[in-house]
A = this chain, B = another copy of it.
Amino acid sequence: MMVFGNMGADSGTGVAFTRNQVTGAKELYGEYLPNAQGEDVVAGTRTPLKIAALRGDAPELYSNLAQVADRLEKHFREAQDIEFTVERGALWMLQTRAAKPPARATVRIALDMVREGLITKDEALLRVEPDHVIHLLLPQFDDKAKSEAKRSGRFLAKGLNASPGAAMGTVVFDPDEAEKLGRDERKPVILVRVETSPDDVHGVLHSKGVLTARGGATSHAAVVTRGLGIPCVAGCEAIQVDYDAAEFRVGDKVVRRGDSLSIDGGTGEVFAGSIRTIEPDFDREVDLQNLLAWADEVRSLQVWANADYPRDAVRARKFGAQGIGLDRTEHMFMETDRLPIVHEMILAAPEYRKVKRQREAAAKQLEAATNDRRRDLERQIAEMDSHLEDLSRRYIGSLEHLGRMQREDFAGILREMAGLPVIIRLIDPPLHEFLPRYETLLVQVTKLRIAREDPDAFIRAATSEEDRALIAEVRKAGSDVATGIEALLPRKERLLEAVKGSRETNPMLGLRGCRLGIMFPEITEMQVRAIFEAACRLKKEGVDVRPEIMIPLVGLPEELRIERHALEKEAKSVMDREGISVDYKFGTMIEIPRAALVADEIARHAEFFSFGTNDLTQTTMGYSRDDAEPKFLLDYIEQGILPRNPFQTIDREGVGQLMRMCVQKGRKVRRNLEVGICGEHGGDPVSIEFCHEIGLNYVSCSPFRVPVARLAAAHAKLRQGTTRAKDT
C-alpha cells in the first residue's frame, strides 16, 4: 500500500539516523521535507529541514519518531538509518537499515552502546573497522582553512572519495613529470589525469595525490592509490582536462600545470591553492583510546613499532607500542655529516681485508720458509704492515668515529623505550648504497677528461645545473680551472673505479645483510660495541634497557652461529670493561625462503625470529618490488591475476605457507622462541589476522599504524571464536 507525503502541510517525508552521524551523539539526526515525496528530496529543489526542527514544529511527530527509532535501535542493537513518510499526521516507516556513519561517530556510538548496555565490549570492538582508525589518524584539512577556502571561491568541485587523506601539491598532468618532480626533486605533486592506466603508475607512485576526471570506486586510479595509501579523488566529472594546454577547467576557472592544488580523498573535495593541514592528534581521540584499551584486553598478539630514531620511539610509545621491532641502524649512516666518514670507511674496507689476508698468508709461509725466502717474506710483511697501518687509520678509524655517534643514537632510543624490548638490526644494505651513484661519476669523469683538453670551452659549454655544480667542485679543487681539473679528475677516477668494483647486478641478492658482517666483521663489531656501551651506561643510570640484536638476511644456520659467536664475544668484552651486565637477546630476520625452510636449524642459534616480509615476498614470489610495481604488478592486480598487492597484504598461499612452516619448525626446537614480523605487512589488518592465526608473538609496524594494529589484533582474536561475557 502506498503512503503519500505530499498530502498537505501535515504530510511530509524524511530520513533519520538514530544517532548523530557526525559526532555519534545519541540524538535523532536527519532531514525532513514537509508536503513532499522521496523523489522531491532526491531532486534537491527544496531545502529540507533538520529533523531537530520537528521537536518544536511537530512535537508529537517528533516524539513518535523518537520512540520508533529507539525501538528499532534496541531491536537491531545497532544505530539505524530510517526512511519515513508522514501522511496527514500519521507516521509510516518505509525502511530501516544499519547506519554507516563516518569513523568518529562509529567509535563514539560503539562506546555509548556498551555504556547503555546494548552491546558487549567485544561487539563494540567488532563494530569499528581498522579503516575507521586509519581515517581518524590521517592528516585532514583544517576545518577553518577549508571553510575559508570555500568562502573565497577556491572550492572547485567534488568527486568520488576514492582514497582517504588530504594532499596538497603542484599540479602535473604528465606521469613522467610527476615522477621527475616527485622522485628526483622531492617536490609534492598532484597528478591530474582524465583517468589513469597502468602506464601512469610510475607517476602515481611519486605523487602526493591523484585527481581523475573519470572512473569509479574500482577504477584504476582508485584501486592503485588505495593500495599505495595515496589520497585520491576520482571521477570528478566537473573538471575538463586538456593535456595539450596542460590545464583543466571547472566552469570558467582554470588550473594550470605548476599551480597549487588541494584534494581531500576522504570527502572528494578539490580546492585551488593550498589549505592548511592538521596532523592527527592521538591525544585528543579519547573515545578511540578507550576503545583501544578494550582491544588491548582482548588481543593476545602484541603490537610493537618500527623506529629508527628516539623521536619515532616517543611516538610509538604514545600510540601504545609494546616494544621496538625494528631499529634500522643504517639510517644512522646516511646523515649528511656522517656520509664522508662512511665513504672513507667503505672505500678502505675491501683493500684492508685483502692486505690483511695476504699478511696472514705470508706469516704462515714464514714459519716454513728457508733463509732466502724468509728475508723476502719479512720484507713483504713489513711493507704490508705499513700499508695496513694506513688502511686501518682510514677503515678502523672511521668505524670508531661512527661507533661513537651510533652509541648516542642507541642510547637515545633505549632510553625512550625503557622497560620495553628494542630490536636493533645490524647493517643490512649493500655498501654501495652509501656511495655516490655510478652513472653520475661516469658522466663527471667523461666531462672532466674532455675538459682537460680545453678548460675554457668546458666552462663556456656548461649549461645544466649538474655542469655548474661540477665547475664549482673544480674551482674548489684548484686555484684555476686547469689545475682544479688536474686535481679533481684523478680523485673522481679513483672513486669511479671503487664504485664500479662494488656495483652489483641484483643488489637485493648480493653482498648485504649478515654477509657483510661475515666479510667485514669490523663493521658489525663496531655496531655491537656501540649498542652495549650505550646499554651499560644507561643501566648504570638506572634505566631498564632491553636490547635485542638482530642479524639480517640469514639463510644458513652457520652464518648465524658464526656471527653470534663473534658478536657475543664483543658484547661480553664491553660488559666486562664497563663492569655491568645487561640482559639481551640475539636473533635473526627470516626474509629468504631458505631461512624458513631450515628454521629448526636456525632456531638453535636464535632467541627470536622476525619476519622481514618485504624481502621474503620479493624472494618467494621472485619480484623485485621496485621493478615489479611500476612494470607489471599493479597490472596483474587490475587483470585479476593477483587478488591484491602482496607487498601490502601477505600472500597467504605462498609467503604465508612458508611463514607457518617456519613458526612450527622454529618452536619445535625452541619452545619459547619469540616470533614477530617487522615488514610493512605488520600494519595491515588482513595480514595481522594471519599473524595471529599462525601464532606470532607480535607485529611491528610504523608508529602511526600501531593503533590500527591494536584493533586488528583484537579482531583477529575475537573472530577466532573466543567469546567473552557481556559484563567484562
Q: A residues within 8 Å of B by Cβ?
A: 195, 197-199, 214, 350, 353-354, 357-358, 361, 365, 438-439, 442-443, 446-447, 450, 453-454, 457-458, 460-461, 504-511, 515, 518-519, 553, 555-556, 558-559, 562, 591-594, 597-598, 601, 615, 618-624, 626-628, 631-632, 635-636, 639-642, 651, 653-655, 657-658
A353 neighbours in B (Cβ, 8 Å)? 199
A598 neighbours in B (Cβ, 8 Å)? 653-654, 657
Q: From A628, which residue of chain B is reached at the shortest CB distance?
A: B510
Whether A621 and B654, one on each chain, are in contact in the complex, defined by CB atoms closer than 8 angstroms, is no
A515 neighbours in B (Cβ, 8 Å)? 631-632
Whether A593 and B658, one on each chain, are in contact in the complex, defined by CB atoms closer than 8 angstroms, is yes
Closest 5 CB pairs of A and B: A592-B622, A506-B624, A510-B627, A509-B624, A594-B654
Known: A361-B197, A640-B558. A511 touches B631 (CB 8 A): yes
Interchain CA distance A642-B557 in the complex, whole Å? 10
Whether B354 and A199, one on each chain, are in contact in the complex, defined by CB atoms closer than 8 angstroms, is yes
Given A439-B442, A593-B621, 7 extra CB contacts under 8 A = A506-B624, A507-B627, A508-B509, A509-B622, A555-B622, A559-B641, A597-B657
A518 neighbours in B (Cβ, 8 Å)? 632, 636, 639, 641
Whether A624 and B453, one on each chain, are in contact in the complex, defined by CB atoms closer than 8 angstroms, is no
CB distance from A469 to the nearest CB of B (A): 15
Whether A627 and B597, one on each chain, are in contact in the complex, defined by CB atoms closer than 8 angstroms, is no
Q: From A350, which residue of chain B is reached at the shortest CB distance?
A: B199
- Pick from A457, A518, A601, A654 the residue with the most CB of B within 10 Å: A654
Interchain CA distance A620-B620 in the complex, whole Å? 7
Please list 25 pairs of residues, one from A and one from B, whose beta carbons are closer than 8 Å in the complex, sorted by A's number.
A197-B358, A199-B353, A214-B365, A442-B443, A450-B450, A453-B460, A457-B457, A505-B507, A505-B508, A505-B624, A506-B509, A509-B627, A511-B627, A511-B628, A515-B632, A519-B631, A556-B642, A558-B640, A592-B620, A593-B620, A593-B621, A594-B651, A597-B657, A597-B658, A619-B620
A559 neighbours in B (Cβ, 8 Å)? 641
CB distance from A147 to the nearest CB of B (A): 35
A624 neighbours in B (Cβ, 8 Å)? 504-510
CB distance from A497 to the nearest CB of B (A): 10
A361 neighbours in B (Cβ, 8 Å)? 195, 197
Q: From A623, which residue of chain B is reached at the shortest CB distance?
A: B509
A654 neighbours in B (Cβ, 8 Å)? 555, 593-594, 597-598
Partner of A197, one of B357, B504, B558, B658: B357
A458 neighbours in B (Cβ, 8 Å)? 450
A641 neighbours in B (Cβ, 8 Å)? 518, 556, 558-559, 562
A555 neighbours in B (Cβ, 8 Å)? 621-622, 654
Interchain CA distance A654-B601 in the complex, whole Å? 11
A653 neighbours in B (Cβ, 8 Å)? 594, 597-598, 601
Whether A626 and B505, one on each chain, are in contact in the complex, defined by CB atoms closer than 8 angstroms, is yes
A601 neighbours in B (Cβ, 8 Å)? 653
Interchain CA distance A620-B591 in the complex, whole Å? 10
Interchain CA distance A252-B620 in the complex, whole Å? 59
Interchain CA distance A594-B618 in the complex, whole Å? 10
CB distance from A639 to the nearest CB of B (A): 8
